[in-house]
């Protein structure tokens, strides 16, 4: 069986931290979609680590980490991640495997991302500029380069043809993008050499065998359900399926082999980049969440937009993914709020609705809130549920009732140890 861990909001829910906490119970941790647009943070022994492509199980001796076929890899960023890990003496060669079917992000994919965003002007997606959209476009357009191509002698020919085509495409955008491709290519080719030192595998086959042997596998999602290419707030989304089905296509896991679906959410909501966000706050409360929660993108450093918990959106994510248990993160950030608001329905063009409609732009949607009492107590030192303030218990009980799924983990700080199991 393969368990899934999925972000249920607009990303940055704390997936990296929880994967790290859970890895001791798994033999394999596998990423199945996204790429270096992800920034997964984990903290232990006073050190903070940010991973972009490498799965968050990498710090544990017991687990093998797989970058699956659904992932897009930028060798340049991947090499930097490896460099950052060097001082931790991890046996990367025997612990980190790459799917031959994963697609490669070329330097020109990054340039195309920048050109596309510049051409969109105010309507830009707010992409991380890592080349994600153009790389997945080449994948579905059947033009992409895959990790497995690097095993063939003539891979540079294929590279050249694709990069030349991209350069011509950049011209079509008619925007001012400055670049020196020759320099970018030196860096890229060097990084490809590093990537080639790793073990490339037919990851679906590896995972079939592991399942036969009764190995425990955890699929680590990137981004969140509301950034899903099909079910998110299109077009302000990423270019992959971030929801449960993405793990089937991104690893080769059959639907009937999926076990637990762990859904992770913040006790409030954040979003980085453009796009609608019904419960977004522009007042002191939003400012406090951002400041106390240190809400800055782990990949781009951009401030994250903050707002109250949106149960309409969360319920939608629970349904789409078939979430079997929930994990609530960053409850500690809400300590000190006199009251908390939870959005339980939308006023949608004058009508009260409790499902996520086609368009959730502010002009159509006004959130309807339930107000709840906040708690004063600092949660960051707590070690068990019995120490929870009454108001936090009420908050949790309300969410469980509304979502009809148990909250099994409450996270009260960024460190591995600040994790309370219920
Ligand atoms: P991911 O992309 O889902 O892995 O999440 P990010 O790493 O981008 O963002 C989550 C941020 O919140 C990171 O800085 C984490 O260290 C931090 N974090 C995770 N859980 C908690 C928590 O319970 N409380 C607080 N205060 N910070 C947390
Ligand atoms: P993790 O895995 C938060 C957002 C970008 C932008 C949109 C499209 O750390 O939760 P892209 O570069 O994918 O074309 O950007 O998606 N985005 C994320 N937001 N967390 C992420 O990943 C994200 N990955 C992409 O900000 O709005
Ligand atoms: Mg992140």
Catalytic residues: 12, 40
What is the model's pLDDT at position 363? 87
Q: Does the reported pTM lie above 0.75?
A: yes
3-state secondary structure of 40: strand
Residue 131 φ then ψ, to 5°: 85, 15
Q: What is the CB-side half-sphere exposure of residue 53 using CA atoms within 13 A?
A: 30
Question: Would you list the DSSP string of 396-417?
Answer: HHHHHHHHTS-EEEEE-SSBTT
> Which numbered atom of ligand 2 lies nearest the CA of 299?
9
Q: How far is CA 170 from CA 116, 119, 173, in A?
A: 8, 10, 6
- How far is the C-alpha of 156 from the C-alpha of 146, rounded, in Å? 12
| Any ligand 1 atom below 6 A from CB of 13 | yes
Per-residue pLDDT at 197: 97
Dist. CA 272–CA 12, nearest whole Å: 9
CA of 165 to the centre of ligand 3 (A): 32
Measured in Å, how far apart are the chain's first and last C-alpha atoms?
Answer: 23
Q: What are phi and psi of 86, to 5 degrees?
A: -50, -45
Q: Is 331 within 8 Å of 410 (Cβ atoms)?
A: yes
Intervals of the chain under pLDDT 70: none
Write down how long the chain is: 422
Model pLDDT, residue 362 = 86
Pick the closest to residue 225 from 211, 237, 216, 207 (CA basis): 237
Q: For residues 32 and 103, give the distance between their C-alpha atoms in angstroms, rounded to a whole number.
A: 12
**In 322-407, alpha helices (H):** 390-403
Give bridge partners of residue 419 from the DSSP assignment. Answer: 411
Please list, in sequence order, all residues whose beta carbon lies within 8 angstroms of the beta carbon of residue 121, skipping any fewer than 6 positions away: none
What is the model's pLDDT at position 299?
Answer: 86
CB-ligand 1 contact for 246 (6 Å cutoff): no
Question: From the CB of 414, is ligand 1 less than 6 Å away?
Answer: yes
Distances 114 to 169, 294, 297, 328 between C-alpha atoms, Å: 12, 27, 18, 35
Pocket of ligand 2 (CB under 6 A): 7, 10-12, 34, 37-40, 125-128, 130, 132-133, 222-224, 227, 238, 272-273, 298
């Amino acid at each position: 069986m393969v368990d899934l861990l999925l972000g249920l909001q607009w990303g940055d829910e704390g997936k990296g931290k929880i994967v790290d906490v859970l890895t001791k119970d798994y033999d394999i941790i596998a990423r199945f979609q996204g790429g270096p647009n992800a920034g997964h943070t984990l903290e232990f022994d006073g050190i903070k680590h940010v991973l972009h492509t490498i799965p968050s199980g990498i710090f544990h001796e017991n687990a093998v980490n797989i970058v699956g076929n659904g992932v897009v890899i930028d060798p340049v960023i991947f090499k930097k991640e490896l460099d950052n890990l060097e001082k931790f003496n991890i046996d990367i060669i025997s612990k980190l495997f790459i799917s031959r079917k994963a697609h490669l992000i070329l330097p020109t994919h990054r340039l195309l991302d920048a050109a596309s965003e510049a051409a969109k002007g105010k309507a830009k997606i707010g992409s991380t500029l890592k080349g994600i959209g153009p790389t997945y476009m080449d994948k579905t357009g059947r033009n992409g380069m895959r990790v497995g191509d690097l095993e063939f002698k003539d891979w540079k020919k294929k590279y050249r043809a694709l990069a030349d085509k991209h350069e011509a495409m950049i011209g079509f955008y008619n925007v001012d993008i400055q670049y020196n491709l020759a320099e970018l290519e030196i860096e890229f080719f060097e990084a490809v050499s590093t990537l080639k030192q790793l073990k490339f595998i037919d990851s679906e086959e590896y995972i079939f065998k592991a399942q036969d042997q009764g190995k425990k596998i955890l699929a680590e999602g990137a981004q969140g359900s509301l950034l899903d290419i099909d079910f998110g707030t299109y077009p302000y989304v990423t270019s992959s399926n971030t929801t449960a089905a993405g793990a089937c296509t991104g690893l080769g896991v059959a639907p009937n082999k999926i076990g637990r679906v762990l859904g992770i959410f913040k006790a409030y909501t954040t979003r980085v980049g453009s796009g609608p966000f019904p419960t977004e706050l522009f007042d002191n409360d939003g400012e406090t969440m951002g400041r106390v929660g240190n809400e800055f993108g782990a990949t781009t450093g951009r401030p994250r937009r903050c707002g109250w918990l949106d149960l309409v959106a969360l319920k939608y994510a629970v349904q789409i993914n078939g979430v079997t248990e929930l994990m609530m993160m960053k409850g500690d950030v809400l300590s000190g709020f006199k009251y908390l608001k939870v959005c339980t329905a939308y006023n949608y063009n004058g009508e009260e609705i409790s499902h996520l409609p086609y368009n959730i732009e502010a002009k159509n949607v006004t959130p309807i809130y339930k107000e709840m009492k906040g708690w004063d107590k600092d949660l960051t030192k707590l070690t068990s549920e019995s120490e929870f303030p009454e108001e936090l218990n009420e908050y949790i009980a309300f969410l469980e009732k509304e979502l009809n799924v148990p909250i099994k983990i409450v996270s009260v700080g960024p460190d591995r140890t600040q994790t309370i199991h219920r």
